[in-house]
């Protein structure tokens, strides 16, 4: 949800700003803009649309300077338009800033500032912050402060932020202090990159890769005062902080498309490798269990846990549903899966034996973070299953497990889902072996997990069949996705993938539930995708297929290799390798990801940048 970049140093700012914005574009692509400072002039270029359009504008109207800020927008307040694009100007151009987040009391503040004579030109909440900082700058100057001093600007920012309610990641330039970049964080991530005689700022580490390996993640209520040679961090309550410098582990090749046309396809194809990464070093053959480096909980504490809450949003929530089935089956611990957006405002009765796991690819999802904080505040052990190293949730959780899937850039989540399911399988095995899962059962699970990367490689062989099927159905306007037990969350995930990138209405259901309403949608133009690999309830799912067939609904079946019978009933079949039931989501998710991808392409959709979406949902 909006991406921010900043640079102060001796190189051309615009080069880094544009490169950084391209890398952050997945966070929002309604508009893009930048501001570059040279001496006491700040030049702004901004434009509705993608970063490429901003780059064209900068070519037609070049800007020079070695200090700057940039922004790629996912609109919250104010429609996507040139005028509403960031950066925004405060006062008479004394302050120029970009913002990620939502200012909840913007309307009250705007009225107060209007009464003081400030003129608002945009429909955004952000412009309020720009004028507010300028206003406090004028107040400081009235009291005799020097407008050209860093401390004057800092005091103005501190006073302004005290009046703001909501969330923000902010980056601002000051006309009268060239080379000063002030950043502030509450709820929206920011990371500072440290170079030689230069500093970078970004919403996530992506733009810093290849520029520097040393980074400092800002925490909530921190303000960073950044100049080419200095970085000072001040916490609202705790005062000046010693920056905690971390090393970046990503490389630029993680961010390249390689031979693929889209990040989504690249990430689908990475899954044999990313599942292998999730398993690496975590299979404990001696104990027939799993091992994790960062849970930060003693076996005695884990043994006491008698209830687990898995909380997440979107695709991660679907992975959590698979986790519920896995943990309950292997470890016999009751599990509830909660939408983070609900959990954060609910007050469910939890005991001191309840453990919370937040599941998140980005580690920045606002609702998931808020749910984690709420549970932490109540004193529960809060852990995270997270992909992005150093993300807010990864840092705030008491412990956790990284996915090690590498950056997921396609807006539709693919490899994160299979990595999350893999980690949840390991977790279920680990918790199970602490309870009543036998040694031979643990050994068997380990053996099956070891085989999964190869099974996923084989699964990708279905791509050609999926392409043909997509050709047949891409004009349908409604789809049903149906599966049972471990494949019910896969049905939900398949439907989500299709709707988010192809804009086709799709619903996922437990196959048997379809009779209780959704069957009314079935007709010859509404395909049903049945996830029906071999299982104990295979005949039951086949009966559900019969029910659809009787109503002349076309059927696409995801079935196990060797299941020839299914072709008698289904119009089209996509075969996947036969694996144990609890591992089926790993193989059955892949054809559904590919199906959504191929259909979206045929419909001319932008698969990596679907409309209205953003990768990292950092607003409520």
Q: Which residues are catalytic?
A: 2, 615
Restricting to residues 458-497, name those near ligand F6R by CB under 6 A: 496
Residue with smallest beta-carbon separation from ligand F6R: 314
Nearer to ligand F6R, 382 or 616 (CB): 616
Q: Does 419 interact with ligand F6R (rule: CB under 6 A)?
A: no
Nearer to ligand F6R, 317 or 530 (CB): 317
* DSSP-assigned letter for residue 312: E
How far, in Å, CA of 128 to CA of 302, rounded? 48
Q: Does 277 interact with ligand F6R (rule: CB under 6 A)?
A: no
How far, in Å, CA of 517 to CA of 114, rounded? 53
Least distance CB 615 / ligand F6R (angstroms) = 7
Considering only 137-145, 153-161, 251-259, 362-370, which stretch makes contact with ligand F6R by CB under 6 A? 362-370
Instruction: List the one residue from 122, 271, 365, 487 that touches ligand F6R (CB under 6 A).
Output: 365
How far, in Å, CA of 492 to CA of 489, rounded? 5
Least distance CB 335 / ligand F6R (angstroms) = 18
Q: How many CB atoms lie within 10 A of CB 122?
A: 19
224: phi then psi, degrees, rounded to nearest 5: -110, 125
Instruction: List the one residue from 66, 361, 487, 528 that touches ligand F6R (CB under 6 A).
Output: 361
The bridge status of strand 31-38 relative to strand 67-73 is: antiparallel
Q: How many CB atoms lie within 10 A of CB 347?
A: 8
Least distance CB 345 / ligand F6R (angstroms) = 17
How far, in Å, CA of 384 to CA of 311, rounded? 9
In angstroms, the first-to-last Cα distance of the chain is 10
Contact present, 173 and 97 (Cβ < 8 Å): yes
Instruction: List the one residue from 125, 267, 396, 500 that touches ligand F6R (CB under 6 A).
Output: 500
Residue 177: alpha-carbon gap to chain centroid: 35
How far, in Å, CA of 232 to CA of 136, rounded? 21
Nearer to ligand F6R, 27 or 47 (CB): 27
Least distance CB 312 / ligand F6R (angstroms) = 6
How far, in Å, CA of 286 to CA of 450, rounded? 15
Distances (CA, A) of 431 to 92, 360, 425, 439, 487: 61, 20, 10, 13, 22
Restricting to residues 513-572, name those near ligand F6R by CB under 6 A: none
Least distance CB 169 / ligand F6R (angstroms) = 16
Nearer to ligand F6R, 152 or 315 (CB): 315
Instruction: List the one residue from 360, 425, 593, 618 that touches ligand F6R (CB under 6 A).
Output: 360
Size of the site for ligand F6R (CB under 6 A): 15
The bridge status of strand 399-402 relative to strand 382-386 is: parallel
Nearer to ligand F6R, 400 or 577 (CB): 400
Report the phi/psi class of residue 2: left, alpha or beta, with left for phi > 0 and alpha for psi in -120 to 50.
Answer: left
How far, in Å, CA of 268 to CA of 192, rounded? 31
Nearer to ligand F6R, 264 or 452 (CB): 264
- Tally the C-alpha atoms within 13 A of residue 514's C-alpha that lie toward its C-beta: 31
Considering only 262-270, 329-337, 357-365, 510-518, which stretch makes contact with ligand F6R by CB under 6 A? 357-365
Nearer to ligand F6R, 500 or 507 (CB): 500
Query: What is the chain's length?
Result: 620
Closest of 370, 357, 298, 363 to residue 323, by C-alpha: 357
Q: Does 413 interact with ligand F6R (rule: CB under 6 A)?
A: yes
Closest of 26, 25, 186 to residue 99, by C-alpha: 186
Nearer to ligand F6R, 158 or 620 (CB): 620
Nearer to ligand F6R, 4 or 372 (CB): 372
Considering only 93-101, 130-138, 220-228, 358-366, which stretch makes contact with ligand F6R by CB under 6 A? 358-366
Least distance CB 500 / ligand F6R (angstroms) = 6
Least distance CB 317 / ligand F6R (angstroms) = 7
Least distance CB 150 / ligand F6R (angstroms) = 36
Q: Which helix (H) or strand (E) holds 300?
A: helix 299-304
Contact present, 109 and 128 (Cβ < 8 Å): yes
Residue 195: alpha-carbon gap to chain centroid: 27
Q: Does 412 interact with ligand F6R (rule: CB under 6 A)?
A: yes
Full strand arrangement of the beta sheet holding 382-386: 335-339, 307-312, 354-360, 382-386, 399-402
Closest of 478, 489, 526, 496 to residue 511, by C-alpha: 489
Least distance CB 502 / ligand F6R (angstroms) = 12
DSSP string, 530-572: EE--S-TTHHHHHHHHHHHHTTT--EEEEEETT--THHHH-SE
Nearer to ligand F6R, 314 or 585 (CB): 314
Instruction: List the one residue from 98, 587, 617, 619 that touches ligand F6R (CB under 6 A).
Output: 617
Restricting to residues 291-320, name those near ligand F6R by CB under 6 A: 313-316
43: phi then psi, degrees, rounded to nearest 5: -100, 135
Token reading at 213: 């390996």
Q: Does 28 interact with ligand F6R (rule: CB under 6 A)?
A: no
Write the binding mask 577 to 616 for ligand F6R: x where contact by CB under 6 A, - elsewhere: ---------------------------------------x
Q: Does 341 interact with ligand F6R (rule: CB under 6 A)?
A: no
Instruction: List the one residue from 368, 425, 584, 618 that touches ligand F6R (CB under 6 A).
Output: 368
> ω into residue 87 within 30 of 0, thus cis?
yes
Instruction: List the one residue from 124, 362, 425, 584 that touches ligand F6R (CB under 6 A).
Output: 362
Least distance CB 424 / ligand F6R (angstroms) = 13
Q: Does 152 interact with ligand F6R (rule: CB under 6 A)?
A: no
Nearer to ligand F6R, 69 or 619 (CB): 619
- What does the binding site for ligand F6R look like in residue numbers (CB under 6 A)? 313-316, 360-362, 365, 368, 412-413, 496, 500, 616-617
């Amino acid at each position: 949800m909006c991406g921010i970049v900043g640079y102060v140093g001796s190189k051309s700012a615009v080069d880094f700003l544009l490169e950084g914005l391209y890398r952050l574009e997945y966070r929002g692509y309604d508009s893009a803009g930048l501001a570059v400072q040279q001496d006491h002039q700040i030049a702004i270029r901004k434009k509705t649309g993608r970063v490429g359009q901003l780059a064209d504008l900068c070519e037609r109207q070049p800007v020079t300077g070695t200090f700057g800020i940039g922004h790629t927008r996912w609109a919250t307040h104010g429609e996507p338009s040139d005028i509403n694009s960031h950066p925004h100007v405060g006062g008479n151009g004394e302050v120029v800033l970009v913002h990620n987040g939502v200012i909840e009391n913007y309307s009250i503040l705007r009225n107060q500032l209007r009464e003081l004579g400030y003129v608002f030109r945009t429909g955004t909440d952000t412009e309020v912050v720009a004028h507010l900082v300028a206003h406090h700058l004028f107040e400081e100057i009235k009291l005799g402060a020097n407008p050209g001093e860093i401390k004057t600007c800092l005091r103005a920012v501190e006073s302004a932020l005290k009046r703001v309610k909501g969330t923000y990641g902010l980056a601002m330039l000051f006309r009268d202090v060239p080379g000063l970049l002030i950043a502030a964080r509450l709820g929206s991530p920011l990371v500072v990159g440290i170079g030689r005689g230069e500093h970078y700022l970004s919403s996530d580490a992506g733009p810093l890769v290849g520029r520097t390996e040393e980074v400092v993640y800002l925490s909530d209520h921190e303000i960073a005062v950044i100049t080419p040679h200095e970085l000072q961090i001040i916490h609202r309550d705790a005062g000046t902080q010693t920056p905690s410098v971390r090393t970046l582990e990503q490389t630029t090749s993680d961010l390249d498309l390689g031979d693929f046309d889209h990040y989504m396809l690249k990430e689908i194809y990475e899954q044999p490798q990313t599942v292998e990464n999730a398993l690496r070093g975590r299979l404990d053959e001696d104990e027939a269990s799993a091992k994790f480096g960062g849970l930060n909980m003693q076996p005695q504490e884990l043994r006491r846990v008698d209830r687990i809450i898995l909380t997440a949003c979107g695709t991660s929530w679907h992975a959590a549903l698979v986790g519920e089935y896995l943990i309950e089956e292997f470890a016999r611990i009751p599990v509830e899966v909660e939408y983070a957006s609900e959990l954060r405002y609910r007050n469910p009765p939890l005991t001191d034996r309840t453990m919370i796991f937040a599941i998140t690819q980005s580690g920045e999802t606002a609702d998931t973070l808020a749910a984690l904080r709420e549970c932490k505040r109540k004193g529960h052990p809060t852990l995270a299953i997270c992909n992005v190293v150093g993300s807010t949730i990864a840092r705030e959780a008491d412990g956790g497990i990284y996915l090690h899937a590498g950056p997921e850039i396609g807006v539709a989540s693919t490899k994160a889902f299979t990595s999350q399911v893999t980690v949840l399988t390991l977790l279920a095995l680990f918790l199970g072996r602490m309870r009543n899962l036998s040694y031979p059962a643990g050994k068997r699970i380990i053996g099956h997990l070891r085989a999964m990367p190869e099974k996923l490689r084989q699964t990708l062989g279905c791509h050609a069949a999926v392409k043909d099927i997509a050709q047949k159905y891409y004009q349908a306007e409604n789809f049903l996705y149906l599966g049972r037990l471990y494949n019910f969350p896969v049905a939900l995930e398949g439907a989500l993938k299709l709707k988010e990138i192809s804009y086709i209405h799709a619903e996922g259901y437990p196959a048997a539930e379809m009779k209780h309403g959704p069957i009314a949608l079935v007709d010859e133009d509404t395909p049903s995708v049945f996830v029906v690999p071999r299982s104990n309830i295979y005949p039951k799912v086949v009966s559900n297929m019969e029910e659809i067939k009787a109503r002349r609904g076309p059927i696409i079946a995801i079935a196990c290799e060797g299941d020839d019978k299914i072709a008698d009933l289904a119009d089209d079949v996509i075969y996947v390798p036969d694996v144990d039931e609890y591992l089926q989501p790993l193989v059955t998710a892949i054809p559904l990801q590919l199906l959504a991808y191929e259909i979206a392409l045929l419909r001319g959709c932008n698969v990596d940048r679907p409309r209205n979406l953003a990768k990292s949902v950092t607003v409520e």
